[in-house]
C-alpha cells in the first residue's frame, strides 16, 4: 500500500493520476497483473512512443514498476503495479501530535503456537516446520513471516508520552492471513486482537492466499506455501474499535485506561473462542505484498501544565 500522510507529499502521485490514459493503464495492470508495452499500446490504441511517455510518469511516481525480459521478439518491458492500494490521509496535515514505530514481526515478547506453525527470515526457515520450540530461537527476532494454527503472538509497543500528554487514538497496521497446510484460498479464520489484555474485537481472514507469488517474497520461498495476506488497519479511540473503518466493538481507549506510565501490549490470537479456528500468518516487509512490518501509530493530546 502507498500511504500518503499529507497532501503535499503526494503531489507527484496526483500528477501521475491526472491523465485518463494513465488511469486506464492502472486499471489494465490491476486486471491483468502485468502487461508489456505493446499490449498496453494495443489495448489503448496508442503508439509505442505515446505509451512510453505515460509509463515513464507512472514509474517515476512509484505507482508501477518495470522489468526487462527477453521474449520471442527480443527484449520486452513488462509493467506491473508496485502496490495495489493507495491511501490518502486527508486529516493528517492537521494532526501534529503523533508518533509511529515499526516493529519487526519477529520481535514478539510472548507467544503460544500449535502446528502447523513455523517462522522464517528472508534468508531461510528457522529450525524445522511444525516445531513450536523454534519460536524461542534467538534468530526469531529476524523473522519476516510467522504462521501458526492456534495460539498467539504478543508485541510490546513503546509508550513515549509525557506527563502532560494523553492518548487520543492508537492504530495498528499489519499484513495478515489464515494458516492452512500449504495454502487454501477459502480458509476463514477469526483472528482476535487484544490491547493490554482487553479484547477489542476480531477480523475473519477469508483464506490463506497462494494463487500468485507474493510481491516481496524472497526467491527461495517455495511456491506451494502461502504467499501473501491482506493489509488491515486497526484503530482504537474514544468512539470505539475499528478495522478498516468498520466498527468491531464498542471498546474505547478510556476502557483500556492508558496513561503516560502505561506499558502497551498488542496480542494477535486464534484461540478456542474463534468460531473459525484456522490459524494466522503475519508478514513482514520482506514477505507478502506490502513492504512493512507491524506498524504502530499513536495520536495524542497535549495539556497545559498548571503552575
Split at pLDDT 50, 70, 90, the class of 6 is: low
Domain ranges of the chain: 2-81, 95-302
Split at pLDDT 50, 70, 90, the class of 235 is: very high
Is there a common fold for 2-81 and 95-302?
no
Q: Are 136 and 117 in contact (CB under 8 A)?
A: no
Mean pLDDT of 85-96: 62
**Structural fold of domain 95-302:** Jelly Rolls (2.60.120)
pLDDT tens track for 158-172: 999 999 999 999 999
Would you say residue 128 has pLDDT above 90?
yes
Q: Is the peptide bond before 159 cis (omega within 30 degrees of 0)?
A: no
What's the mean pLDDT when you consider all of the chain?
Answer: 91
Split at pLDDT 50, 70, 90, the class of 7 is: low
pLDDT at 9: 62
Q: Which of these ranges, 3-7, 80-84, 89-93, has the smallest mean pLDDT?
A: 89-93
Q: Compute the C-alpha angle 191/196/201, nearest 5°.
A: 30
Q: Phi and psi (nearest 5°) for 169?
A: -160, 145
* The most confident of 30-44, 67-81, 96-110, by mean pLDDT: 96-110
Indicate the pTM of the whole model.
0.73
Mean pLDDT of 192-201: 97
Residues 6+ apart with CB under 8 A from 126: 118, 119, 120, 134, 137, 139, 140, 143
Mean pLDDT of 68-87: 78
pLDDT at 93: 46
Mean pLDDT of 221-231: 94
Split at pLDDT 50, 70, 90, the class of 13 is: confident
Q: Are 25 and 40 in contact (CB under 8 A)?
A: yes
Decide if domain 2-81 falls under CATH 3.40.91.10: no
First to last CA, the chain: 46
More confident residue, 73 or 271: 271
User: Which neighbouring-strand residues pair with 74?
Assistant: 71
Amino acid at each position: 500500500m502507498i500511504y500518503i500522510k499529507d497532501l503535499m507529499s503526494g503531489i507527484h502521485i496526483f500528477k501521475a493520476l491526472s491523465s485518463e490514459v494513465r488511469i486506464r493503464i492502472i486499471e489494465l495492470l490491476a486486471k491483468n497483473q502485468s502487461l508489456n508495452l505493446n499490449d498496453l499500446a494495443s489495448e489503448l490504441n496508442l503508439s509505442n512512443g505515446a505509451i512510453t511517455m505515460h509509463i515513464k510518469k507512472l514509474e517515476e511516481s512509484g505507482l508501477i514498476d518495470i522489468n526487462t525480459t527477453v521474449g520471442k521478439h527480443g527484449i520486452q518491458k513488462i509493467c506491473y503495479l508496485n502496490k495495489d492500494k493507495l491511501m490518502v490521509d486527508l486529516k493528517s496535515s492537521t494532526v501534529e501530535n503523533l508518533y509511529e514505530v515499526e516493529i519487526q514481526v519477529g520481535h514478539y515478547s510472548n507467544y503460544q503456537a500449535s502446528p502447523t506453525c513455523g517462522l522464517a527470515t528472508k534468508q531461510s526457515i528457522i529450525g524445522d516446520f511444525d516445531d513450536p520450540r523454534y519460536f524461542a530461537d534467538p534468530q526469531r527476532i529476524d523473522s519476516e513471516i510467522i504462521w501458526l494454527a492456534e495460539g498467539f503472538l504478543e508485541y510490546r509497543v513503546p509508550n513515549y508520552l509525557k506527563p502532560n500528554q494523553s492518548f487520543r487514538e492508537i492504530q495498528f497496521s499489519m499484513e495478515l492471513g489464515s494458516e492452512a497446510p500449504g495454502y487454501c484460498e477459502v480458509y476463514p479464520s477469526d483472528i482476535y486482537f487484544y490491547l493490554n489484555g482487553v479484547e477489542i474485537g476480531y477480523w475473519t481472514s477469508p483464506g490463506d492466499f497462494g494463487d500468485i507469488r507474493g510481491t516481496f517474497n524472497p526467491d527461495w520461498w517455495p511456491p506451494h506455501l502461502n504467499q501473501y495476506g491482506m493489509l488491515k488497519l486497526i484503530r482504537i479511540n474514544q468512539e470505539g474499535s475499528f478495522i478498516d473503518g468498520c466498527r468491531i466493538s464498542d471498546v474505547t481507549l478510556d476502557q483500556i485506561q492508558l496513561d503516560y506510565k502505561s506499558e502497551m501490549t498488542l496480542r494477535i490470537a486464534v484461540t478456542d473462542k474463534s468460531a473459525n479456528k484456522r490459524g494466522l500468518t503475519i508478514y513482514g516487509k520482506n514477505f507478502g505484498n506490502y513492504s512493512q512490518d507491524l506498524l504502530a501509530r499513536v495520536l495524542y493530546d497535549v495539556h497545559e501544565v498548571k503552575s
